[in-house]
Structures are given as structure tokens and as C-alpha cells.
Structure 1
């Protein structure tokens, strides 16, 4: 089974282009327009991605907030992340403490190289998808949700 890469970006043209490039490279690519769509997919879909590509500036939540929320849950904390976002140098430096950053606009070859690097550094999984099972540290297999 191919590796899954989920893309969260509120700009439809960028999201569509990134998904197309990922699919052409053989990845199982899935896109979301905001954090809430991602959280619903994690809970309802019963699986999580091999890599999560996040825009930092989403309409409902910052990408960095998503990373912090996911890392608080044992069943999501090991999902590798790649930020793809249009930000200044100072913000890119802060984000890079959480995950690598590819700045928009970007070359697709550089983007795919960053994807491959993140996937190579991540623990390998036989199935290509991570089952969402409660851990000993958790009573639930539920994704964090943004607070209203």
C-alpha cells in the first residue's frame, strides 16, 4: 500500500496542485480546507496519515496549534509533519522547531524532496495507515478539537 499524505491548506488552488503532485509521485493524497475537516477525518476515518502537510495560517486554527494538539494525544503524537506556508523568516524559524518548513512559493521538486525526507525519518508502518486505537495513556481514540 502506498504511503498516505494528508494536506491541510485553505487555498484550493494550492491544495489541488499539491495533491496532484503527491498523487503523481504515488502517494495516497487527501486534502482538507481547515483544521476542523482534519479533526473530523481523524476521528471518523479510523486512520491517520503517514505524513501531515500543514499550512500555518488556516481560517480556524494555526498549523502550529494543530501540531501541539496532536502531540498531546499518544495516538497522534508520532505523525510526522511538514509545514508548507507563506511566512516571514522569523516565523519560519519558530515553526522549524516543530517541523520542517517549505515556504510558499516553492518548487515542487523541493517539496517532494521534503516529503520524502520526512517519511524516511518517520517510523515505518506495514499498512501505510495508522489505526486509531486507544493507548494505555488514553481512554479514547478521539482527535483533539479546536475550542470554540
Structure 2
């Protein structure tokens, strides 16, 4: 527990950019008080999601090899991971096609590290 804020949230951040993973991890841990794991690829994210079953997965859209939408579809097909909320992190401007796809939300990159935990909390209906 983290005092009056409730249980520690577990977040998996997936991005092929190491610096972005580290900034997001530091932000969510220091500002949000959450426990954060990171993955550098879609296949690694799928494996970690099955093993750790995080409270949310924040995933880049554009990654080499297996991209975010493909990884999201794979997670939804797996009985062990289909209920984990997924938030896309993207620098793309056009996110219209993702609404109604079962995504928990979309956060634009670059994001404000000081506001990232609040954005995630708002998208998921968590108390910030």
C-alpha cells in the first residue's frame, strides 16, 4: 500500500525507445507511486503481460517487427491477457480508427512526465 492512495498499481511500458521507457518509468514511479516494468518489443510485452498481469499496459504504436496494434490484437486473443487495459503512446496525429477498438485510451508523445500518471489515472478511472 502507498498510504491513503490505495494499492500500488503495476504498469508495463512498451516502447522500442529506451530513453522513452526510462522517462515513463521514472515518471510513473516517482509521481504516481506505481510499480513499473518495461519491455522493448511486442513479443517481449506479450511474455511479460502473461507472467506479471499488470494493471495496465502503455504501448508505443510504431515499433520495429511487431507493432503496437498487432501486439494489442495478440493480447486480446490470449485468455490470460485479454482483460488488461491497453493505452497507446503515439506521436501519430490520426488516432480516429482506434476509438471503439477496446483500447483504454491514447496518450500523445511527447508526453508531460509530470502529468503522465494523472493522464493514465483519468483514462482508467483511477483516483489520481
Q: Which TM-score band (shorter chain)?
A: 0.7 to 0.9
Shift of 1:110: 4.1
RMSD: 1.8
Q: TM-score, normalised by structure 2?
A: 0.81
How many residues matched? 117
1:58 to 1:51, Cα distance in 2 relative to 1, 3 A: same
Q: Please tell me whether the aligned partners of residues 46 and 71 of structure 2 are also in contact (alpha carbons under 8 angstroms).
A: no
Aligned to 1:114: 119
- Paired residues for 1:56-67 under 5 Å: 56-67=61-72
Q: Say whether residues 1:3 and 2:3 are aligned partners.
A: no
Q: TM-score, normalised by structure 1?
A: 0.71
Alignment partner of 1:68: what SS? Answer: helix
Q: Please tell me whether the aligned partners of residues 28 and 116 of structure 2 are also in contact (alpha carbons under 8 angstroms).
A: no
**Larger RCO: Structure 1 or Structure 2 (Cα < 8 Å, ≥ 6 residues apart)?**
1
What is the CA deviation profile of residues 73-124 of structure 1, one whole-angstrom value per residue up to 9, with x for unaligned ones? Answer: 22211100111111122xx111233321111112234432221124436xxx
Structure 2 unaligned residues grouped into runs of 5+ = 1-6
Task: Indicate the structure (1 or 2) with the bigger Cα radius of gyration.
Answer: 1
Query: Which whole-Å CA distance do the structure 1 matches of 2:86 and 2:119 have between them?
Result: 10
Q: 2:96 aligns with which of 93, 98, 102?
A: 93
Q: 1:53 aligns with which of 58, 64, 69?
A: 58
Query: Which whole-Å CA distance do the structure 2 matches of 1:94 and 1:109 have between them?
Result: 28
